[in-house]
């Protein structure tokens, strides 16, 4: 089985390259035909692979999903595999080789979507193929769902869940769009930060006034806005409150993720001479994954074209707040609103308007037989168990699966590694990782099949 899984890597790369040549960019309405062409090609391949009921499902106003299944093991658990077929745009990016012409260099496959996320689910197709070719069956039941709107925030995925619940009903889910801390350390994503957005408007005057005649006596909304926003953060620029009391488990080696200065410097594109923010006695990963952060997205401060010697009537800014997993949105909003609206310069009027919607912060505790089974599969293929990691960003589909299926084991893994540059130029997939993940999946089906009962009708 292991030999077969290893030798199929070339075939997996060939299939993957075929998919990657289709520019299935979901945010571009002109590419909707490409998205559908890819969905059709994948569906035909799933059928040829030996999966049952391979189909393209379309809801009005949405891009399609592809679903297929293999449910011939009554009494065995059903494992749902989720991946996405769509791609981020490439406009304005400079690539070494064309983004939709897959190219192998130095052990990596370069193409938009190579790792995010085509490699993720193609690794499952070849694990399935290995089982079916060698034994004629799978060691558990499998359902496959491939979305094509992940890169635009999965706006219709919940509608698909409502319209076709049978596609999703399962005993465990493997969501293959996440990353590994390195090419030798496999990652299990267990938390996401959420995101909230607020528009802050400071108003003080009923007309612009002369800054020489009135400066120092009338409130300046520009410095007022900056002062109020600055009150939210400490000298490092980190949100002062609310902070999270991070559990002691963070001090154990299990959280000792490889996130050293070099990784941060490269990953964050720090300019020469600039250092990462000081960690103040906390692990770097805590600041990235488990604490909130705030960013100014836009302001209406006067621009060069509007330069004049005047105090302005009002100024506003849009703030983005990354909400830490475990934080309550209402508590975060209240604390920030209070700081911004208290003791304003000259009693200037400050309005804080929060955009609708929940932050989607997510915190998961991976416990039980499914995760023990996953660890056994990873130990066999990688020589070590999964390392629990967080993500500083927000992934709408994960928050959605967490909300709808949080009672099931959710295994968030993937083929992305720190050199992947997902969403950026020269996105790439480490071919060694692809090979290990195909093998991992081969073992994972067997381990899950043996470890879990069947709780639902397949
Ligand atoms: Zn993705």
Residues 95 and 80 in one domain: yes
Who's near 116: CB < 8 A, 6+ residues apart? 88, 177, 414, 416, 420, 422, 423, 427
Structure-token match 């260099």, residue found: 105
Residue 293 lies in a domain: yes
Find the helix packing angle between 431-451 and 369-382, rounded to 10°. 140
Q: Ligand 1 centre and the CA of 391: distance in Å?
A: 13
Q: Ligand 1 centre and the CA of 114: distance in Å?
A: 10
Q: Ligand 1 centre and the CA of 40: distance in Å?
A: 20
Q: Ligand 1 centre and the CA of 6: distance in Å?
A: 25
For 270-332, the DSSP string reads PPTTPPPPP-TTS-HHIIIIIS-EEEEEEE----GGG--SEE-SEEEEEEEEEEPTT--HHHH
Q: Ligand 1 centre and the CA of 75: distance in Å?
A: 33
Who's near 334: CB < 8 A, 6+ residues apart? none
Q: What percent of the chain has pLDDT over 70?
A: 97
Residues 182 and 202 in one domain: no
Q: Ligand 1 centre and the CA of 153: distance in Å?
A: 10
Residues 212 and 73 in one domain: no
Helix (H) or strand (E) holding 381: helix 369-382
Number of domains in the chain: 2
Q: Ligand 1 centre and the CA of 84: distance in Å?
A: 7
- Pairing assessment for the beta strands 410-412 and 172-175 based on DSSP bridges: parallel
- pLDDT over threshold 60, residue 276: yes
Q: How confident is the model at residue 449 (pLDDT cuts 50, 70, 90)?
A: very high
Q: Ligand 1 centre and the CA of 120: distance in Å?
A: 9
For 346, half-sphere exposure in the C-beta direction (CA atoms, 13 angstrom radius) is 15
Burial tier of 343 (Cβ tally within 10 Å: 0-12, 13-18, 19+):
exposed
Q: Which of 80-84, 242-246, 425-429, 453-457 shows the lowest per-residue confidence on average (mean pLDDT)?
A: 453-457
- pLDDT over threshold 70, residue 13: yes
Q: Residues 386, 174: contact at Cβ < 8 Å?
A: no
Q: Ligand 1 centre and the CA of 107: distance in Å?
A: 21
Residue 222 sits in a domain of what CATH number?
A: 3.30.70.360
Q: Is the bond leading into 59 cis (omega within 30 degrees of zero)?
A: no
Residue 400 sits in a domain of what CATH number?
A: 3.40.630.10
Residue 119 lies in a domain: yes
Q: Residues 146, 121: contact at Cβ < 8 Å?
A: yes
Domain boundary among 354, 372, 391: 354
Q: Ligand 1 centre and the CA of 414: distance in Å?
A: 9
Residues 239 and 327 in one domain: yes
Q: Ligand 1 centre and the CA of 409: distance in Å?
A: 20
Q: How confident is the model at residue 139 (pLDDT cuts 50, 70, 90)?
A: very high
Residues 187 and 299 in one domain: no
Residues with CB in 5 Å of ion ligand 1: 116-117, 177
Q: Ligand 1 centre and the CA of 244: distance in Å?
A: 28
Residue 389 lies in a domain: yes
Q: Ligand 1 centre and the CA of 218: distance in Å?
A: 50
Domain boundary among 316, 336, 354: 354
Q: Residues 440, 382: contact at Cβ < 8 Å?
A: yes
Residue 265 lies in a domain: no
Q: Ligand 1 centre and the CA of 147: distance in Å?
A: 10
Burial tier of 327 (Cβ tally within 10 Å: 0-12, 13-18, 19+):
buried
Please state the rounded mean pLDDT for residues 352-356. 97
Q: Residues 119, 442: contact at Cβ < 8 Å?
A: no
Residue 254 confidence (pLDDT): 52
Residues 199 and 337 in one domain: yes
Residues 9 and 59 in one domain: yes
Residue 250 confidence (pLDDT): 54
Q: How confident is the model at residue 38 (pLDDT cuts 50, 70, 90)?
A: very high
Q: How confident is the model at residue 266 (pLDDT cuts 50, 70, 90)?
A: confident
Q: Residues 346, 217: contact at Cβ < 8 Å?
A: no
Residue 418 confidence (pLDDT): 85
Q: Residues 335, 239: contact at Cβ < 8 Å?
A: no
Q: Ligand 1 centre and the CA of 177: distance in Å?
A: 5
Q: Ligand 1 centre and the CA of 192: distance in Å?
A: 14
Structure-token match 């009708």, residue found: 457
Q: Is the bond leading into 242 cis (omega within 30 degrees of zero)?
A: yes
Residue 188 confidence (pLDDT): 94
DSSP state of 355: P
- pLDDT over threshold 90, residue 70: yes
Domain boundary among 354, 382, 399: 354
Burial tier of 369 (Cβ tally within 10 Å: 0-12, 13-18, 19+):
middle
Distance in angstroms (rounded) separating the CA atoms of residues 32 and 150: 14
Residue 458 confidence (pLDDT): 44
Q: Residues 301, 222: contact at Cβ < 8 Å?
A: yes
Which residue segment(s) compose the domain that 232 sits in? 194-249+289-354
User: Would you give the distance in Å from CA 71 to the centre of its chain?
Assistant: 29
3-state class (DSSP) for residue 87:
strand
Residue 273 lies in a domain: no
Please state the rounded mean pLDDT for residues 83-109. 97
Residues 13 and 100 in one domain: yes
**Alpha-carbon torsion 44, 49, 55, 57, what sign?**
negative
Residues 384 and 243 in one domain: no
Residue 255 lies in a domain: no
DSSP state of 8: T
Q: Ligand 1 centre and the CA of 355: distance in Å?
A: 25
Q: Ligand 1 centre and the CA of 438: distance in Å?
A: 18
Residue 229 lies in a domain: yes
Distance in angstroms (rounded) separating the CA atoms of residues 124 and 143: 11
Mean pLDDT of the chain: 94
Q: Residues 62, 83: contact at Cβ < 8 Å?
A: no
Residues 406 and 428 in one domain: yes
Q: How confident is the model at residue 427 (pLDDT cuts 50, 70, 90)?
A: very high
Residues 67 and 40 in one domain: yes
Residue 247 confidence (pLDDT): 65
Q: Ligand 1 centre and the CA of 174: distance in Å?
A: 14
Q: Ligand 1 centre and the CA of 415: distance in Å?
A: 10
Q: Ligand 1 centre and the CA of 64: distance in Å?
A: 16
Q: Ligand 1 centre and the CA of 393: distance in Å?
A: 12
Q: Ligand 1 centre and the CA of 117: distance in Å?
A: 5
Residues 93 and 198 in one domain: no
Q: Ligand 1 centre and the CA of 116: distance in Å?
A: 4
Residue 64 lies in a domain: yes
């Amino acid at each position: 089985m292991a030999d077969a899984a290893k030798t199929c890597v070339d075939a997996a790369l060939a299939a993957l390259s075929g998919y990657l040549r289709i520019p299935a960019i979901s945010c571009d309405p002109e590419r909707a035909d490409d998205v559908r062409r890819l969905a059709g090609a994948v569906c035909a391949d799933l059928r040829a692979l030996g999966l049952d009921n391979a189909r393209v499902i379309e809801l009005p106003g949405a891009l399609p999903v592809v679903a297929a299944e293999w449910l011939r093991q009554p009494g065995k658990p059903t494992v749902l595999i989720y991946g996405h077929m769509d791609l981020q745009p490439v406009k304005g990016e400079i690539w070494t080789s064309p983004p939709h012409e897959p190219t192998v260099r130095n052990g990596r496959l370069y193409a938009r979507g190579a790792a995010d996320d085509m490699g993720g689910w193609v690794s499952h197709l070849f694990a399935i193929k290995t089982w079916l070719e060698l034994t004629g069956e799978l060691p558990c039941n499998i359902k496959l769902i491939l979305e094509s709107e992940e890169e635009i925030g999965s706006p219709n995925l919940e509608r698909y869940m409502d319209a076709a619940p049978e596609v999703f009903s399962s005993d465990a889910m493997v969501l293959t769009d996440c990353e590994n801390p390195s090419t030798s350390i496999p990652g299990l994503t267990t938390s996401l930060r959420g995101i909230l957005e607020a528009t802050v408007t400071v108003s003080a005057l009923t007309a612009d006034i002369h800054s020489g005649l009135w400066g120092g006596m009338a409130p300046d909304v520009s410095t007022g806005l900056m002062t109020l926003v600055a009150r939210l953060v400490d000298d490092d620029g980190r949100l002062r409150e609310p902070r999270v009391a991070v559990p002691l488990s963070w001090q154990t080696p299990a959280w000792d993720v490889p996130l050293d200065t070099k990784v941060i410097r490269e990953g964050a594109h720090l300019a020469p001479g600039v250092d990462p923010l000081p960690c103040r006695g906390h692990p770097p990963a805590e600041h990235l994954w488990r604490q909130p952060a705030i960013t100014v997205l836009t302001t209406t401060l006067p621009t060069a074209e509007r330069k004049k010697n005047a105090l302005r009537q009002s100024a506003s800014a849009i703030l983005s707040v990354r909400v830490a997993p475990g934080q309550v949105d209402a508590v975060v909003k209240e604390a920030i609103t209070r700081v911004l609206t208290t003791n304003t310069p000259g009693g200037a009027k400050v309005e804080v308007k929060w955009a609708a919607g929940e932050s989607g912060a997510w915190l998961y505790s991976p416990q039980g037989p499914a995760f023990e089974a996953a660890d056994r599969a990873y130990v066999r293929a990688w020589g070590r168990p999964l390392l629990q990691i967080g993500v500083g960003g927000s992934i709408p589909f994960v928050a959605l699966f967490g909300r709808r299926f949080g009672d099931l084991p959710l295994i968030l893994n993937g083929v992305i590694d720190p050199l992947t540059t997902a969403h950026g130029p020269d996105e790439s997939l480490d071919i060694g990782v692809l090979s290990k993940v195909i093998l991992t999946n081969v073992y994972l089906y067997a381990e899950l099949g043996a470890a879990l009962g069947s709780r639902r009708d397949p």
